[in-house]
């Protein structure tokens, strides 16, 4: 038996308003709740039992996946009354494990789309006798991540959280959010309080002389935490840039789910997903975007690298680039929305509602939120 703990209790603040009603790991990505892809991969790697560490919108996970039999997995759910942080969540979930002290337990973040070879990570951990093995990735700009330099044998030398100065950036290897712990090591994490595995547990293990191992690979890897990454991950799955046993259709330029309506003259490309009940009107262009269930793109609108929430409507002739439209929001015809704009759930943006001047957007009271892009209007509430 191989057990795993899945961390899914975060609030997903960087993806608001998409995460206002759905936790990030359950947002539809390439047509199915994101976690379905990672759970299918875990099952394929021989994982048999997974404990979900939930907190934010906790009950929705069990509603979606139940006992896991549909995926060939045995699933359990633990709920934190108040979020315990990544380490506290792992410790809390450890209570439900059945693995013996010397057995390897996989732990992974619920928001990473990854092609890592989980079976090889687990087997390598066992063979090395390490206390913890971390999956590491090389990235071009490591400033937003925790850095993990290793020596020639792959032993971790330090944990450097979100370095800023060039002197602090001593490696391009980052913590990829997927670990193998020897079970007994999990039991040593303090119980009943907030703990960060990245800032507290790993540095303490290193300081105590534990064998902490890093494995770098070239597999696909993407942290779906931001809107840009979210649409990228979905598009990459649809186009087959990363394989998933859970993709609900053939690999291609677009995925149109049953019950969606796309006008024959509309053009879909770049790994776009049109979910059930969504409508794409005459002459509309949708590229690299995610249209959630019941979303509507009116005629001749142009939507690029954006997410359009459930039952949201984008009016005729609108132009969107890298925008997030919350559930049930409405964007009136002719709007050109600047990159980075986010529109709150249920908000109404009237015709010409976004200007490039400093004057406020008239519909501020209905909750337009934006990401601080300089040329967007500044009426955020
Ligand atoms: P942001 O708020 O946008 O940063 O997203 P997030 O809340 O998901 O935080 P982050 O990306 O740092 O979290 C990494 C992983 O740990 C995600 O899979 C989260 O669901 C999970 N996580 C973060 N904090 C907690 C927690 O307190 N409890 C549990 N159970 N999981 C957590």
> Is-cis flag, bond preceding 188, omega within 30?
no
Q: Whose CA is nearest to atom 28 of ligand 1?
A: 9
Adjacent-strand bridge partners of 7: 53, 109
pLDDT digits (tens, 9 = 90+) for 253-283: 999 999 999 999 999 999 999 999 999 999 9
Please report which helix (H) or strand (E) contains residue 343, including its range.
strand 341-343
Adjacent-strand bridge partners of 331: 314, 349
With cut-offs at 50, 70 and 90, classify the pLDDT of residue 380: very low
Mean pLDDT (the chain) is 89
Q: What are phi and psi of 31, to 5 degrees?
A: 90, -10
What is the rounded distance in angstroms from the CA atom of residue 273 to the CA atom of residue 295? 11
Domains of the chain: 3-223 (3.90.550.10), 253-378 (2.160.10.10)
Q: Say if pTM beats, i.e. exceeds, 0.85.
A: yes
Q: Which atom of ligand 1 is nearest to the CA of 223?
A: 11
Q: Which atom of ligand 1 is nearest to the CA of 8?
A: 20
pLDDT > 90 fraction of the chain, expressed in percent and rounded: 83
What is the rounded distance in angstroms from the CA atom of residue 178 to the CA atom of residue 110? 9
| Ligand 1 proximity of 79 Cβ (cutoff 6 Å) | no
Q: What are phi and psi of 150, to 5 degrees?
A: -125, 160
pLDDT digits (tens, 9 = 90+) for 156-169: 999 988 777 877 78
The lowest-confidence range among 120-129, 140-149, 295-304 is 140-149
What is the rounded distance in angstroms from the CA atom of residue 157 to the CA atom of residue 182? 19
With cut-offs at 50, 70 and 90, classify the pLDDT of residue 146: confident
Confidence (pLDDT) at 263: 98
Centre a 10 Å sphere on the Cβ of residue 209 and count the other Cβ atoms it contains: 8
Confidence (pLDDT) at 145: 85
| Ligand 1 proximity of 89 Cβ (cutoff 6 Å) | yes
Confidence (pLDDT) at 141: 85
Q: What are phi and psi of 324, to 5 degrees?
A: -115, 125
Ligand 1 centroid to residue 237 C-alpha, Å: 22
Residues 360, 378 contacting (CB under 8 angstroms): yes
DSSP annotation string for 204-223: HHHHTT--EEEEE--S-EEE
DSSP 251: S
Confidence (pLDDT) at 355: 55
pLDDT digits (tens, 9 = 90+) for 153-212: 999 999 988 777 877 788 999 999 999 999 999 999 999 899 999 999 999 999 999 999
Confidence (pLDDT) at 353: 74
Confidence (pLDDT) at 168: 77
With cut-offs at 50, 70 and 90, classify the pLDDT of residue 335: very high
Which positions ≥6 away from 13 have C-beta within 8 Å? 19
Summarize the confidence of residues 313-322 as an average pLDDT.
96
Adjacent-strand bridge partners of 370: 341
Alpha helices in the chain, H assignment, sequence order: 34-44, 59-65, 85-94, 118-128, 183-186, 202-207, 227-238
With cut-offs at 50, 70 and 90, classify the pLDDT of residue 369: very low
């Amino acid at each position: 038996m191989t057990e795993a703990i899945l961390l899914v209790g975060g609030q997903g603040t960087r993806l608001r308003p998409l995460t206002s009603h759905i936790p990030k790991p359950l947002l539809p990505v390439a047509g199915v709740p994101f976690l379905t892809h990672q759970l299918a991969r875990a099952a394929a790697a021989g994982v048999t039992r997974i404990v979900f560490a939930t907190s934010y919108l906790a009950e929705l996970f069990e509603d979606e996946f139940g006992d896991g039999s549909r995926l060939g997995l045995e699933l359990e759910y633990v709920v934190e009354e108040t979020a315990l942080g990544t380490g506290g969540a792992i410790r809390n979930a450890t209570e439900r494990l059945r693995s013996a002290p010397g057995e390897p337990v996989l732990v992974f973040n619920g928001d990473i789309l990854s092609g890592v070879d989980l079976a090889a990570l687990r087997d390598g951990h066992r063979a090395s006798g390490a206390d913890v093995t971390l999956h590491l990735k090389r990235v071009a700009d490591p400033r937003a991540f925790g850095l993990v330099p290793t020596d020639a044998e792959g032993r971790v030398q330090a944990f450097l959280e979100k370095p800023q100065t060039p002197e602090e950036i001593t490696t391009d290897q980052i913590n990829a959010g997927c670990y193998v712990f020897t079970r007994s090591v999990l039991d040593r994490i303090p119980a009943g309080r907030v703990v960060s595995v990245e800032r507290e547990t790993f540095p303490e293990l290193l300081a105590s002389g534990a064998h902490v191992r890093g494995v770098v690979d070239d597999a696909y890897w993407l942290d779906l935490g931001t809107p840009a990454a979210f649409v990228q991950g979905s598009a990459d799955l649809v186009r087959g840039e990363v394989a998933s046993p859970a993709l609900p259709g053939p690999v291609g330029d677009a995925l149109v789910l049953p019950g969606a309506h796309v006008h024959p003259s509309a053009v879909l490309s770049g790994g776009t997903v049109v979910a059930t009940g969504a409508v794409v009107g005459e002459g509309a262009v949708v590229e690299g975007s995610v249209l959630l269930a019941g979303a509507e793109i009116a005629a001749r609108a142009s939507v690029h690298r954006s997410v359009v929430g459930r039952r949201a409507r984008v009016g005729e002739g609108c132009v969107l680039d890298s925008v997030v439209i919350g559930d049930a929001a409405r964007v009136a015809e002719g709007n050109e929305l600047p990159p980075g704009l986010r529109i709150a759930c249920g908000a109404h943006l009237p015709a010409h509602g976004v200007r490039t001047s400093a004057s406020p957007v008239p519909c501020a009271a209905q909750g337009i939120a934006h990401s601080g892009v300089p040329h967007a209007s500044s009426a955020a509430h």
